[in-house]
Structure 1
Amino acid sequence: MKGKVLCVAVAGAVALWQLVAAGAQAAEQGAPVQERIVDLDSLVVVGVAPVASLTWVTDPRLPRQPVPASDGADYLRTVPGFATLRSGGTNGDPVLRGQFGSRLNLLAGDGALMGACPSRMDNAMSYVSPETYDRLTIVKGPQTVLWGGGASAGTVRFEREIPYFDQPGLRLDGSAMFASHGRNDQVLDAIAGSPQVYGRLTANRSESDDYEDGVGRPVPSAWEKWNADAAIGWTPDPDTVLEASVGTGDGQARYAGRGMDGTQFDRATWGLRFEKKGMQGRLHEIAANVYYNDVDHVMDNYTLREPDPAGAMPMPMASNVAHRTSGGRSAFGFGGEHWELTAGVDARSSRHSRRSATGRGQYLAQPWTVDARFRQAGAFAELHWHLDARNHLIAGARVDRSEAQDRRATTGGMMPTPNPTLGQARAETLPSAFVRFEQDLDGRPLRWYAGIGHTRRMPDYWELFSPNRGPDGAANAFAGVRPERTTQFDVGMRHAGKRIDAWVSAYAGRMSDYIAFDYIDAMGGTTTRARNADADIRGGEAGVEWRAAEHWKLGGTLAYSWGELADSGQALPQMPPLEARLNAAWDNGTWSAGALLRAVAAQDRVSPALGNVVGRDLGPSSGFAVFSLNGAYRIDDRWRLAAGIDNLFDRDYVEHLNLAGNSAFGYPADPTRIHEPGRTAWVKLNVSY
């Protein structure tokens, strides 16, 4: 079956590329390759493509089908290669090319935002509202060193742009959306400024009731969340800015797939950044920022549900965890006639603390206990060398010094025992590097690339402190889990023409000392063990967009990920199945309409005894197809109205990456995946002044 699925993926990608290349050659000759600019005029986005080799940029404020995205992970899963580990209606965990956790470098406003839950109920993307950011930038694979080390899967940055003003003025963007299952969202982005100073306020609120699946069964999934961020900036000239920002937010969410719900997602942030561009001489740009992010997360089994008398937590219980992160970065841009170089340093420090108690609200009377501390400092340099008009070499290197300290007095959960590594610290020196060659084919709108990258990753909080056990012979995971080393080869091709855009990318890698989680079933429950093992990964993505006629666009994407343990041939867990998306869009400048077909293959390459800190493989899953429609109307230059129906045919289906339904909500003891929403209608109004 493995060979069949892989052959289908490869054949599909090759066929798609051959069709595109043939059409492109017939449609256009001699057009130069140009970087694609994000289409900000689209009313509803049904497809996305890379703007450069392995780099994706899009506007997260645009409606994207399926909508609405409730958090960063929801938005990322519309990009080929991404999936989400689902546990309810919101706050899923993002997965890129089958890789999870800190293998993905997740940044908001160029600051590291880290969740606190030992089981990642509140991963970093839980605190991100995509529509409050101006730009989403993604780099796949270990093909950049500018934004931190260890990002073997890729780097994700939600960014806010600097709002320069030529004259005093006011800019206002807002939206209101209403959807099935009591969903309603409001977003406001207001900026006032002059050529020398500006102020910005960004806020959003989102809520939803429990949704119903394709056969009408209610799924515990309700949420309510809000965010507010403010910034003030000084712009003495169009190339200089000094900005100070603050932010806060909170929320709550029910989880069909967890033993507790999230009843507090308190966020407090502040930041300061300085940028100077357009400088004369070799040094032409300076960028520096410092940040502070503090999350205070509460989970319990009594606020949004009733305790399950027959479950593992029959009494009211609550756990309060917090993760405080601060850091900074300085980067300097140099350039010459044929080269650009970015070099700098970054650093980060974090502290994790916790408290818990049995009884409603009793945790508030308990003292905080710091259980872990982390520190990291790194230096980096990345060079883009234009060998000539058609040939380019991009390379980078960085080195990080990472430290972790175990502050736990006891381990063992319900039956605590003295911690043998209390007070111990461990430090690692972690190098990373990559090199990539890119070439524009002479006389054709075509660029190909090939690159190899290597990165080493310090085990994160969830890999060092969440498992019940460490590797055989080690006192615990903190003492025994080694850093992960990934070497990956990336190759691809991109066509950017007048009528046809197409791209294909493939990767293959070896993950030495891959950090795996064993799930060991025993009397009284399940034990998790973290250990190291070598693993092989490979896969790829392909896509095409064809402007078939005036006002018409047709497109599709294909994504496939594969992995196995090198010594045993056992499948890597939590691997998303082969997925294809076909889309069509019509837009005459005033009216638009679109359709999206998402088809996902069955996944039978599973390892039920393996998983990650969130969950384990639940066994094979069935394939499915979901069809969605949208339409929109540009009322004028300021007002836009969009509407759509997701899962038009009310299909009852489940995602492969999933948590088992919790018994407190009536799910059976045998693992049962959480079903996805049935037919969902939505309408959204946008205004820009």
Structure 2
Amino acid sequence: MMPGYPVPHNHTRPMRRFAGLMPLFTLVAPVIADGDVITVAAPLYSPLTVVTSPKTPRQPVPASDGSDYLKTIPGFAQVRNGGTNGDPVLRGMFGSRLKILTDGAEILGSCPSRMDAPTAYISPESYDVLTLVKGPQTVMWGPGASAGTLRFERAFPHFDRAGMNTHAGLLAGSNGRRDENIQAGLGNGLGYMQISANRSRAGDYRDGGGRRVPSRWDKWNGDLAFGWTPDNQTRMELSLGRGDGEASYAGRGMDGAQIKRESLGARLEKTGIGEVLDKVEAQVYYSYANHVMDNTTLRAPGRRPANPGGCCKACGQGGTPNAARRSNLDRRTTGARGMGTWLWQDFRLRSGLDMQTNTHRARKTDGWRRDARFQDYGLFGELTWFADAHNSIIGGARLDRSLADKYARAGDLTRAATLPAGFVRYEHQLSAPMLWYAGIGYTERFPDYWELYAPKSGPRIGTDPFDTLKSEKTTQIDIGMHYVRDGFNGWLSAYAGRVEDFILVKYDPVSAGRSQSVNVNAHIMGAEMGMGYQLAERWKSDASLAYAWGKNTGDGRPLPQMPPLDARIGLTYERERWSSTALWRVVAGQRRIALNEGNVAGKDFDASAGFGVLSANVAYKVAKDIKLSSGIDNILDKRYSEHLNLAGNSGFGYPANMQVNEPGRTLWARLNMAF
């Protein structure tokens, strides 16, 4: 078993109870262990639960943040900002529909237009395991995750005796890209200390047409963890971290002049407790995000815009483009969680409770002023019945009490809701090497900060979204299969659902500062699929395909911000210490749009054209623990843009509805070491 995923400690019980888990472990272990080949299309995974390592080399050029890494997983896209800090989208679903955790904790950005999305504070290579559960098919990690639940985790270091381990990487690339990262741990049988540190920076890039795209960034992160392991069944850990950075955005009226975060947490894990109670976990955490946006640090505000009379249509920031502007916001999040695992002959129950409070503030001329507070208290439980070696049934239920406070000069407002969630899923392992599943889930999602506070109006013009916006209710069916045999592996993951009171944002086509949060009913469906085949002893191929579809059943229009059909085809050659891979990414045009509708970060402002991009890489294993790799992204220097995009900002001379183009030909080289 791989680190961080121990088998049950009571080995006297029949292992057939855990037969349903074995296909997942079998698929995951090579992903974590094998770093010889650069991933280009899709990692090995169970169709419902993706488990991979963010340390696994990948193309295009290694990620600068969490969202940048996620877009390589089929089903993910991102609302593009330019160079970094995009906003992740899974199956066309955005924002708090996707729960994002780091080591079980949550950090929430503070910008009303999500300039600092939660993934902006995540450096992927600082984590060992990335786990994604698609759809409402788990209830253990918080409320409202209708699109999926995503966890970046560091594996607990394990030292039988005094020792040290280190993983380090260096990256250099076009446009001044420079990355350094290191993760080192030392300890013995009684405890450990682990440090993770990284820095990433780049200048503005040029698109395939040679035009400069404002996109530079400079970010750093540092984390420290101390662990105490008095025996093999007990682990206590204290962690703390800090980070900061700045980023230029071609599609916004201001840039991220400060993206600062602080974190503090403590975890306790006790396993092998008794015959029935097998494991107890407890956690508390604190996170703080302090964000400054302005138009003076990374750009010149005095430059005459090509399109006077507007700032950023997507984020709704008003004001005169020539004027110097600055805004400072922060958010403090505290949370706690406790869970127990009970084992019987053919059953496993994981149950517990969690809570979270987060407070948002804005700096005014008279100092910091609190404007919003959210609280959530939840109870959850998931029961697995291992019926036999081939069949298992998993079910879960969750109940949350969510409260929100709005602080305003006209008076404080409060609203609350009780939110149920649940799912049931059947998994079957056939005698042939095939796993398939089918499940149905339901969840209710409380409107988040961006939906309640950023828009100027609620469902009815002139109303306050805080008073009138309803909770979102999703019912979704998920099915999938995975087949592995004779050098071939193939998988399929499909879904169909109905969302009552789906929350979308409408924009006034005349005034960028006017936006409206509304509830509509919607149908959604889509699928991801992939395959890999060993063509010959040294040649193998892999491919993936992802499609998402949504419809507003009230007016018959498409749901906005839906990514188009996206295909990736890879061909790899391996010989002793060498490997080489070519990647062809083909994306269809998107004609199904809802003009001037979207979310708080972006909107549909035009249809988009399809494109195909060719990239390649080569890797050489210098020694057992040293690898050198290099690659070229967009070999043909194609000029193209993603459909999920922000309209170019007039302060940089872009027309109001011009999409921000992707980088042109990009070269990069990377050195990885582990010792």
TM-score by length of 2: 0.92
Q: Tell me the CA shift for residue 600 of structure 1.
A: 0.2
Residue aligning to 1:179: 173
Greater alpha carbon shift after TM alignment, 139-148 vs 271-280: 271-280
> Over residues 437-475 of structure 1, what are the superposed CA-to-partner deviations in whole Å (9 max), with x where a residue is unaligned?
11122x311121110000000000000000010111773
Q: Tell me the CA shift for residue 190 of structure 1.
A: 1.0
Residue aligning to 2:17: none
* Residue correspondence of structure 1 range 6-45 to structure 2 within 5 A: 35-37=26-28, 38-39=30-31, 40-43=33-36, 44-45=38-39
Question: Contact 2:593–2:606 at 8 Å: present in 1 too?
Answer: yes
Residue aligning to 2:570: 583
2 CA distance for matches of 1:634 and 1:384? 42
| Structure 2 counterpart of 1:194, one-letter code | N
State yes or no: 1:424 paired with 2:413.
yes
Q: SS where residue 235 of structure 2 aligns?
A: strand
RMSD: 1.4
Greater alpha carbon shift after TM alignment, 545-554 vs 195-204: 545-554
* Residue correspondence of structure 1 range 516-555 to structure 2 within 5 A: 516-522=504-510, 525-555=512-542
State yes or no: 1:613 paired with 2:600.
yes
Residue aligning to 2:342: 334
2 CA distance for matches of 1:494 and 1:589? 29
| Structure 1 counterpart of 2:528, one-letter code | E
* Residue correspondence of structure 1 range 265-280 to structure 2 within 5 A: 265-280=259-274
Q: Tell me the CA shift for residue 526 of structure 1.
A: 4.3
2 CA distance for matches of 1:106 and 1:33? 25
2 CA distance for matches of 1:542 and 1:525? 38
Q: SS where residue 111 of structure 1 aligns?
A: coil
Which residue, out of 336, 340, 351, partners 1:343? 351
TM-score by length of 1: 0.91
Question: Contact 2:626–2:672 at 8 Å: present in 1 too?
Answer: yes
Residue aligning to 2:450: 462
Which residue, out of 229, 235, 248, partners 1:235? 229
| Structure 1 counterpart of 2:483, one-letter code | H
Question: Contact 1:49–1:543 at 8 Å: present in 2 too?
Answer: no
How many residues get paired?
636
Q: Any stretches of 5+ residues in structure 1 without a counterpart?
A: 1-31, 357-364, 410-418
Which residue, out of 628, 633, 647, partners 1:660? 647
Q: Tell me the CA shift for residue 525 of structure 1.
A: 4.1
Greater alpha carbon shift after TM alignment, 585-594 vs 285-294: 585-594
2 CA distance for matches of 1:525 and 1:223? 26
Q: Tell me the CA shift for residue 498 of structure 1.
A: 4.6
Question: Contact 2:181–2:199 at 8 Å: present in 1 too?
Answer: yes
Q: Tell me the CA shift for residue 88 of structure 1.
A: 1.2
State yes or no: 1:256 paired with 2:242.
no
1 CA distance for matches of 2:99 and 2:367? 32
Residue aligning to 2:481: 493
Residue aligning to 2:406: 406
| Structure 2 counterpart of 1:383, one-letter code | L
> Over residues 284-317 of structure 1, what are the superposed CA-to-partner deviations in whole Å (9 max), with x where a residue is unaligned?
1111111000010000011111115545332111
> Over residues 589-646 of structure 1, what are the superposed CA-to-partner deviations in whole Å (9 max), with x where a residue is unaligned?
4111111111000100001121100121021100000111011111111211111111
Residue aligning to 1:434: 423
Q: SS where residue 463 of structure 1 aligns?
A: helix
2 CA distance for matches of 1:593 and 1:278? 45
* Residue correspondence of structure 1 range 468-479 to structure 2 within 5 A: 468-472=456-460, 475-479=463-467
> Over residues 541-595 of structure 1, what are the superposed CA-to-partner deviations in whole Å (9 max), with x where a residue is unaligned?
1100112222332110010000011121111000000011101122234111111
Q: Any stretches of 5+ residues in structure 2 without a counterpart?
A: 1-21, 310-319
> Over residues 382-423 of structure 1, what are the superposed CA-to-partner deviations in whole Å (9 max), with x where a residue is unaligned?
1111112211101111001000000132xxxxxxxxx5xx31
| Structure 2 counterpart of 1:403, one-letter code | L
Identity of aligned residues (%): 48
Q: SS where residue 36 of structure 1 aligns?
A: helix
1 CA distance for matches of 2:146 and 2:298? 37
State yes or no: 1:597 paired with 2:584.
yes
Which residue, out of 199, 209, 212, partners 1:218? 212
Residue aligning to 2:397: 397
> Over residues 101-138 of structure 1, what are the superposed CA-to-partner deviations in whole Å (9 max), with x where a residue is unaligned?
00000111110110000000001000000001111100
2 CA distance for matches of 1:305 and 1:588? 48
Q: SS where residue 119 of structure 2 aligns?
A: helix
State yes or no: 1:675 paired with 2:669.
no
Aligned CA distance change for structure 1 residues 587 and 366 (closer, same or farther; 3 Å): farther
Q: Tell me the CA shift for residue 49 of structure 1.
A: 4.0
2 CA distance for matches of 1:498 and 1:335? 36
| Structure 1 counterpart of 2:659, one-letter code | R
Q: SS where residue 466 of structure 2 aligns?
A: helix
1 CA distance for matches of 2:394 and 2:285? 29
2 CA distance for matches of 1:496 and 1:333? 31
Residue aligning to 1:20: none
Q: SS where residue 417 of structure 2 aligns?
A: strand
Which residue, out of 66, 69, 91, partners 1:72? 66
Residue aligning to 1:7: none
